[in-house]
Amino acid sequence: MITTDILIIGAGPTGLFAVFEAGLLKMKCHIIDALPQPGGQLAELYPKKPIFDIPGYPSVNAGELVDNLMEQIKQFQPGFTLGETAVSYTKVDDEWFEVVTNKGTVHRCKAIAIAGGLGTFEPRKPTFENLADYEEKGLEYFVKEPEHFRNKKVVIAGGGDSALDWSVFLSNVASEVTLIHRRNEFRGALDSVEKVQDLKNQGKIKLITPAEVTGVKGDGKVEAITVAVDGQDPYDIETDYFIPLFGLTPKLGEIGNWGLNIEKNAIVVNNALDYQTNIDGIYAIGDINTYPGKLKLILCGFHEATLMCQSVYNRLNPGKKFVLKYTTVSGVDGFDGSRKEAEKAVVKKID
């Protein structure tokens, strides 16, 4: 059983920043996320795209923002349960909740912060028959462990950042990488498109456009895919892995059955106070919540995370007065023993 003060459901930017704000208040956090790595849609959908509305950053790549948030919270040593989704919760007593994931991992916490962005991300899947027969048998929707593809033949389908970036990355891992897209044009970062072009010219990536994969073949595992090129008869390509990267579909998932007040696939919260839901001790922050005047912006999620942590502190420490100080004055004490503070003022007489 994993025990923590605040269980955060969602490892996007809002969930990650909540770890920092909780750490300033000496509260421990653990994060559950359905994706195989932290960062939410920033890491999965567009890691190299620039974001222009983060205060202090005229422009910052989504992946860089995630890296910075991870570095910021490292001192507070959060735990992670990745590749799993929160399925059910139980109120154990007046102090504790228990949350169980789809893989049976049990988490005990004193407060729950749902920071799931637009919800649980589920991969958009191809529509051809017998798809389920090959899932996790050579048909993969995420690249969880790149070494699994070492010296293997890989076919990637898609035309966005994920398809481009993984094609580039796996060109140095797999024995053969084939990228298939239904158009000649790609919707991705220019740098990624140019890298794929260079690798194609070097013979390190096979590019097939305009085309689409119409089927998977194999005896108990993926052995080949069928590709239909525009204006030509379909043909088979031998491969060990097929990775369709068509984006992700957001859903509330099992959290939608928790008895929370929901409007238009978003969780209603009390924005006048602390972003708590209709269930005492369960909060919702970031894009997953809704209230009058709600704006789905990362910076708004940061604000909501801050007030949520203040509320949880008061919940965990009834009657204890907390004096808010600027970090420039109070410094930051990490759970790892580190100490960050401004240089002390120098007292010196001026002649």
Are the C-beta atoms of residues 288 and 10 closer than 8 Å to each other? yes
Query: Residue 345 CB: number of other CB atoms within 10 A?
Result: 6
Q: Note the residue count of the chain.
A: 351
Task: Take residue 27 and report the two structure tokens written for it.
Answer: 């509260």
266 in a known ligand binding site:
no
Q: Give CB contacts under 8 A, 24+ apart, made by 144-147.
A: 144/36, 144/83, 146/170, 146/173, 147/173
Residue with token string 């992946």? 63
328 in a known ligand binding site:
yes
User: For the stretch 195-214, what's the b/e string if a residue is b when 16 or more beta carbons lie within 10 angstroms of its beta carbon?
Assistant: bbeebbeeebbebbbebbbe
Task: Take residue 59 and report the two structure tokens written for it.
Answer: 């422009």
> At 154, which helix (H) or strand (E)?
strand 153-157
CB-count burial class (<10 Å; 0-12, 13-18, 19+) for 254: middle
14 in a known ligand binding site:
yes
287 in a known ligand binding site:
yes
Are the C-beta atoms of residues 100 and 50 closer than 8 Å to each other? no
Q: Tell me how far apart the alpha carbons of residues 196 and 211 are, in angstroms, rounded to a whole number.
A: 17
202 in a known ligand binding site:
no
CB-count burial class (<10 Å; 0-12, 13-18, 19+) for 231: exposed
Residues 6 or more apart in contact with residue 43 via CB below 8 angstroms = 35, 37, 62, 63, 66
Per the rule left: phi > 0, alpha: psi between -120 and 50, beta: everything else, 164 is alpha
Nearest alpha carbon to residue 121 among 26, 253, 277, 257: 253
Which residues fall in the annotated binding site? Answer: 14, 33, 41, 46, 86, 121, 287, 328
Residue numbering of the annotated binding site for FAD: 14, 33, 41, 46, 86, 121, 287, 328
